[in-house]
Structure 1
Amino acid sequence: MAADSLPRETEVLVIGAGPGGYVAAIRAAQSGADVTLVEKDAYGGTCLNVGCIPSKALITATDIAHDAEDADRMGISADIDVDFGAMTEWKDGVVSQLTGGVEKLCEANGVTLVDGTASFTSENEVTVDRDGTRKGAIEFDNAIVATGSRPVELTGFSFDGQHVLSSTHALALDSLPEELVVIGAGYIGMELSTVFAKLGVDVTVVEMRDQILPGYEQDVARVVSRRAESLGADFRFGERAEGWTPITSGVRVTTESDDDERFEYDADSVVVAVGREPVTDTLELSAAGVEMDENGFVQTDDQTRTSTEGIFAVGDVAGEPLLAHKASREGEVATEVIAGNAATVSTRAVPAAVFTDPEIATVGMTEATAEEAGLNPVVGQLPMRASGRALTLDETDGFVRVVADEETGTIVGAQLVCPDASELVAEFALAIETDATLTDIATTVHTHPTLTEAAMEAAANAHGAAIHTPNR
């Protein structure tokens, strides 16, 4: 339970109880520091409450329903009845269990919890407001800012929770719409589009660029795009969302192409998923002299230090990549630095996953970025149609690709688009972190039949020694 009264002083003040903040608070307390954690909304932050966890719960549920309904080739016929209300209740139960667990873990480690909004008044003090009332001030020796990010509002599309939805609103719907327009084909837009398409919603995705998942290699994105189209998603590339108007049945969204051609799409609601922005508006960072970049993210070094001595920033508020696991690692680094230990944030082996169908996961360099870095890359790849386990799962779209330095064989990156890519990428992340080589993975005995064999075969393929696919 949060403290009724504020501590006047604390050694380590953490602002924000998301994956960066609560991990930092617990780790600092474990090192023997007196720690106070201030949270204005819900413990667990965006990830646990309105992001990673609820979205993955819905993805799992919809995958089960869709797979059961689409198993005719396996000799299975099923008449699936989806109770969306019950599905949402189950999803909310998962969220409640995890967020409650965060609070208990903090308390068990001796962290003082404070409900409220913290604002800096100087380099070593914040005030805390609760329900619009000033509750007091807290002096600190060190502070860790971990306030996260929120969905960006598109001009002309202010979130109202009814006609115009953020990702948070979309994950909290209590009934299924018949039609949705989704603006943005990035990872959030694609995950939501896949969920709703599998539930039978008529989904139109508007993307101003020429492919889904901008920033990912085209052959990776193409696999997911084809699958989404087979689910019924309609992609409108090269169109900018200009505005919307209410109609009897919901909304009418207007878009415009580069050659000034205009289009209109009717739907129950429109979901805007065009990115995220840092949450700093209540922090009064200028009072502490903390500098931000042109996009509003707090500037930090590789030890999570800000421009002000004794103030650190971790997670989304400190900029890309906006990943929960990156936030947690930064939280640990911040507490290590505060404790006087040597620790830095390494970004060379931070994996990223998109929970589409199939999943995408990447880590390290692509072939192109390896060349830009001055390496002579060698690439190995296994198509999933050559994987026995993928065949038994009836999931043969996609591939596993590994990138290495040709001279040393050291693995520098991997790109996966396949079932369970989010799990399989860990082998490559570990390989990069430990400077493992293609030979290390190719000669490691992998269980058969498993999807992990694809990593072994891709590594062997880079050497021209793969057994189950033609070698390059």
Structure 2
Amino acid sequence: METLTTTLLIIGGGPGGYVAGIRAGQLNVPTILVEGAQPGGTCLTIGCIPSKALIHAADEFSKATTYAAQESPLGITLDNPRIDLDRTVAWKDGIVKRLTGGVGALLKKHGVRVIKGWARVIDGKTVEVQPPAGSEQAVFRIRCEHLLLAAGSEPVELPFMPFGGPVVSSTEALSPDSMPRRLVVVGAGYIGMELGTAYRKLGSKVTVVEAFDRILPAYDADLAKPVAASLARLGVELRLGTSVLGMEDGQVRVRDASGVESRLEADRVLVAVGRKPRTTGWGLESLMLDMDGRALKVDALCRTSMRNVWAIGDLAGEPMLAHRAMAQGEMVAEIIAGKYREFAPAAIPAVCYTDPEIVVAGMTPLEADHAGVEFISAHFPFSANGRAMTIESLDGFVRVVARKDNHVILGWQAVGAGVSELAAGFAQSIEMGAQLEDVARTIHAHPTLGEAVQEAALRALGHALHI
């Protein structure tokens, strides 16, 4: 059997894996990356990027249908808008193809050898690679000094409602060949809410079933309220405090909090109850690594319990965010190259692309209270923001949380149209140890949504100007 050798071997070409490869290549570390599909992983090929493309298409179609259905204050009228779903999916796939091609080109530019195939771990320094089906390449092995595990995650499947037929995961939901007349979404987390909203805007009747008593249970309740109001306007039916029992004859069986069972008609069912680290099916158990629940346990350097084996991204647990994986991948490459690094971010921003969007970074008021920190908090509503008025998006607010004694900013939260673009500023201010005064005295461009950030800081200091 042919055996290749390298300094760094990366299993998985998602955001963490490919960024680690690029950075290792820049630092002249001999690197091989093994990926069974296209470089880019779940996020780029069947996750973050395609979902945001579908959400954008749904938003544009929704605007068109709204203008056709009622008189617009903007003076815009349309007749009989239609959507060609095949063209929409092709456009989305085109974006994915351009981005995956770009990732491949960057890896090649920096001397990273990319091998398409499926890896199976033999030991901490040896991996066997099975080429893709139809390939004439024989099975071969790769020996390495450092093994970086970046295999990502996969959708959680309900044992009593397995994927197949009308029951789909987010992967299938992002490449529909038709719009279901009736869609049932199981799970009101960010994936269920993002895709459920998009399908509703594209014409499906959507019912969301959630075991908790509110949507987006992982987010602050105040942030979820504008999203719930938007869902009500769109006509999305919410079945909260309700469990799913199974599916029979095109109907989803559910039970509410009082124990009453009922059935929901469904042409398609999107199961979005979370994701889990991809730890089975590729020999990982042979290493007998320490676990942290379903994830691999890692230290501040992303080392596993086997010193030369590293793990990053979703495989290393929450938060399962592409940008966290990227930061970890860059760090590991630098450590292997001899630099000193550790993973200790002050804040990792998270964005929910619902309607309206949600962004959080750092501590919420509740988290600060639970941590025993004396804090001050203030919010500024978009209903008092000029830019929000001009884009017809008055729902939502920006909120800041800061220490009471020295005004160091601990966290930011926002809900509103386009607030995802505030994430960078939120994280940067926390990472740099900014105080309320730093943000309040920074001149913010007018008219922008970002002015609400300054106004929230001013309000926390007791002298907001526009409310």
TM-score (norm 2): 0.96
Secondary structure (helix, strand or coil) at the match of 2:315 reads helix
Aligned position for 2:462: 464
Which residue identity does 1:182 align to in structure 2? V
Q: CA–CA distance in 2 between the matches of 1:257 and 1:40?
A: 42
What aligned pairs does 1:447-462 form with structure 2 within 5 A after superposition? 447-462=445-460
Q: Secondary structure at the match of 1:357?
A: coil
SS at structure 2 position matched to 1:73: coil
Match of 2:25 in 1: 29
Contact 1:446 / 1:456 at 8 angstroms: preserved in 2? yes
Equivalent runs, 1:239-250 vs 2, <5 Å: 239-246=242-249
Give CA deviations for 1:370-395 in whole Å, capped at 9, x if unaligned. 12222111112111100000000000
Deviates more, 1:130-139 or 1:410-419: 130-139
Structure 1, 113-122 or 455-464: larger mean CA deviation: 113-122
How far 1:6 moved relative to its partner?
6.7
Alpha-carbon distance in structure 1 between the residues aligned to 2:109 and 2:409: 41
Mapping 1:135-154, distance limit 5 Å: 135-154=139-158
User: What does the per-residue CA deviation read over 1:236-261, in whole Å, with 9 as the maximum and x for residues that have no partner?
Assistant: 00111100013xxxx21000123221
Contact 1:365 1:414 in 2 (8 A): yes
Q: CA offsets, 1:200-219, max 9 Å, x none?
A: 21000000100001121111
Measure how far apart 1:96 and its partner are.
0.8
Contact 2:314 2:320 in 1 (8 A): yes
TM-score normalized with structure 1 length: 0.95
Unaligned runs of 5+ in 2: none
SS in 1 for 2:223: helix
Aligned residues: 459
**What is the aligned-residue RMSD (CA, Å)?**
1.4
Q: Distance in 2 between matches of 1:221 and 1:45?
A: 29
Partners of 2:288 and 2:187 in 1: CA distance: 35
Q: CA deviation at 1:345?
A: 1.4
Q: 2:424 and 2:66 mapped to 1: Cα distance?
A: 30
- Map 1:38-437 to 2 at 5 A: 38-71=34-67, 72-79=72-79, 80-131=81-132, 135-160=139-164, 162-246=165-249, 251-295=250-294, 297-437=295-435
- In the TM superposition, residue 290 of structure 1 has moved relative to its aligned partner by 2.1
2:251 maps to a residue whose letter is R
**1:403 corresponds to which letter in structure 2?**
V
> Which of 381-390 and 274-283 deviates more?
274-283
SS of the equivalent of 1:307 reads coil
Of stretches 434-443 and 256-265 in structure 1, the one that deviates more from structure 2 is 256-265
AA aligned opposite 1:233: V
Classify the secondary structure of the residue corresponding to 2:73: helix
State the SS of the aligned residue for 1:180: strand
- Residue identity over aligned pairs, in percent, reads 44
Structure 1 residue 145, shift from structure 2 partner? 0.4
Which whole-Å CA distance do the structure 1 matches of 2:290 and 2:281 have between them?
Answer: 15
Letter of the aligned partner of 1:140 in structure 2?
C
CA contact (8 A) 2:116 2:132 kept: no
Separation in 2, partners of 1:396, 1:258 = 34
Q: 1:292 to 1:73 in 2, by over 3 A?
A: same
1:52 deviates by 0.3
| Counterpart contact for 1:118–1:282, Cα < 8 Å | no
- Cα shift readout 1:405-452 (whole Å, capped 9, x = no counterpart): 111111110110011111112211100000001111111111100001
Secondary structure, counterpart of 1:98 in structure 2: helix
- Specify the code of the residue in structure 1 equivalent to 2:288: G
